[in-house]
Amino acid sequence: MRVLGIETSCDETGIAIYDTEHGLLAHQLYSQVKLHADYGGVVPELASRDHVRKTLPLIQAALTQANLQPQDIDGVAYTAGPGLVGALLVGSCIGRSLAFGWNVPAIAVHHMEGHLLAPMLEENPPEFPFVALLVSGGHTQLVQVDGIGKYTLLGESVDDAAGEAFDKTAKLMGLDYPGGPRLAKMAEQGLPNKYKFPRPMTDRPGLDFSFSGLKTFAANTIASTDGSPQQLADVARAFQDAVVDTLVIKCRRALEQTGLKRLVIAGGVSANKHLREQLADFAQRIGGQVFFPRPEFCTDNGAMIAFAGAQRLLAGERTDIKVKTFPRWPLAELSEPSGASS
């Protein structure tokens, strides 16, 4: 089965074609970073309009890349949530319309299920069951994954997500949008242990996260510096170390609680070099395994949507012709693929 995947949940237009027998055939991505940079963050209306302009040309580019025609597509998968409602509507309407016009089934995909399954696109995919850390600008969650649609939420952020805290702290330091990757780059020049940041919610049991206080601590620390590049780099290093240590501690607890040894990390923050190093070292020490998507599939992309959609389409699941989007869509509401709904 060849599935066209469409991702338009926020500020990236991602299109891909996934073949269940031959793997990924095409992958196209357009980032709106330059469009939103002047505003210091994503402007929803501008994001929606840009998706309108880019989605169909990227679909044509993906078909060309794969040397396919529309009649070669067996199904269409599109992100229906969570995300920006206007952006979701663009991809959902285009995806559902193409499926109707091509007379193939369509499937609405949960954005975070796409991220969760992204490591399955690699040559050495994880086997079920495993614990997944979904860590991005909008989500920080620990999930026990027993199969497609078999998800148990173990813990999540009670306020800011880890990626959101990175971006907000970067803005406090005067870094341009997108701030998170820039802060991580600056942290490479920082000296360890120059500043001591707390590891929030690690002094109590449980698997929930909280990063808003860490952002406030960073703001106070930045105000105490002289604003020199080195001192700001030292603050960036201390902040990143605190976030990464917190994530590692919670991952360790989740594996201990579930008795599992396989850990999957996905979402935009999973591209962070320091986080990857620390989790890889941790997994080696406990005799476990850690799986990451390649960097290009950490951020939003069509490949993860095409793959996730293909798994549900293969199981017989279908989405009816009425277009529905879910700006807020808890992962726990998903269920195992359950046959045709129309």
Q: Does residue 51 have a known ligand-binding role?
A: no
- Helices 162-172, 179-187: crossing angle, 10 deg rounding: 80
Q: Does residue 109 have a known ligand-binding role?
A: no
Q: Do residues 46 and 91 lie in contact, with contact meaning Cβ atoms separated by under 8 Å? A: no
What amino acid is encoded at 246 in this protein?
A: T
Q: Does residue 137 have a known ligand-binding role?
A: yes
Q: Does residue 228 have a known ligand-binding role?
A: no
Q: Does residue 3 have a known ligand-binding role?
A: no
* Whole-angstrom Cα Rg for the chain: 20
Report helix, strand or coil for 19. Answer: strand
Q: Does residue 167 have a known ligand-binding role?
A: yes
Q: Does residue 206 have a known ligand-binding role?
A: no
Q: Does residue 135 have a known ligand-binding role?
A: yes
Query: In Å, how far are 1, 254, 277, 293, 320 from 21, measured between CA atoms?
Result: 7, 34, 33, 20, 26
Residue whose C-alpha is closest to residue 329's, from 7, 31, 9: 9
Q: Does residue 180 have a known ligand-binding role?
A: yes
Q: What is the DSSP letter of 21?
A: T
Q: Which DSSP helix (H) or strand (E) runs through 176?
A: none
Q: Does residue 111 have a known ligand-binding role?
A: yes
Torsion of CA 270, 272, 275, 277, to 10 degrees: 110
Q: Does residue 134 have a known ligand-binding role?
A: yes
Residue set of the binding site for Fe cation? 111, 115, 300
Residue set of the binding site for substrate? 134-138, 167, 180, 272
Residue set of the binding site? 111, 115, 134-138, 167, 180, 272, 300
